[in-house]
Amino acid sequence: VILSTLHESLPITFSPVIQSTDSVIREGTHLNVNFAGPSAMCLMGGVTPMWKIRFSTTLKGYIVTTGGVDRLNRFKITKYEGENSFYQLSFCPMSEPFCECSCVPVGVNGDKNLVPGAGPLLVMFEPDE
């Protein structure tokens, strides 16, 4: 997944790993992240548009990519410390059913790839109208 500031980029959707009774995404909820829109599946070449983390031998590190599986690729949105209007996205690895493991902020490397462990990428959200 490459960071793009262009308006023509694919939108993303957040969906709770455990479905709620309303459609509100709450801060700190474990989420699946997907590219959205009718062109998402065409551009993914048959790979699911759900985000996941995988090791890249080319970049010699972990990156955010597509091809994720529901409930196994958990992300979380949290307020960024000290900035009330900004949020950060973190990857929360799942190891044990009863273990709340540490979440790792997702940031951008020098090639504009989204990667876990880089300084957090700060984002602002606009409600869907």
- The mean pLDDT of the chain is 79
Residues 50-55: contacts with CB within 8 Å, 24+ apart? 51/1, 51/12, 51/75, 53/91, 53/93, 53/116
Contact 49, 34 (CB under 8 A): yes
Number of domains in the chain: 1
Give the CATH number, domain containing residue 31.
2.80.10.50
Q: Does residue 106 belong to any structural domain of this protein? A: yes
Region 29-33 average pLDDT: 88
The confidence band for 122, taking pLDDT boundaries of 50, 70 and 90, is confident
Residue 76 inside a domain? The answer is: yes
Domain that holds residue 43: 12-123
Query: Is the pLDDT reported for residue 100 higher than 60?
Result: no
- Indicate whether 101 belongs to any domain: yes
Tokens (6 digits) for 44: 């993914």
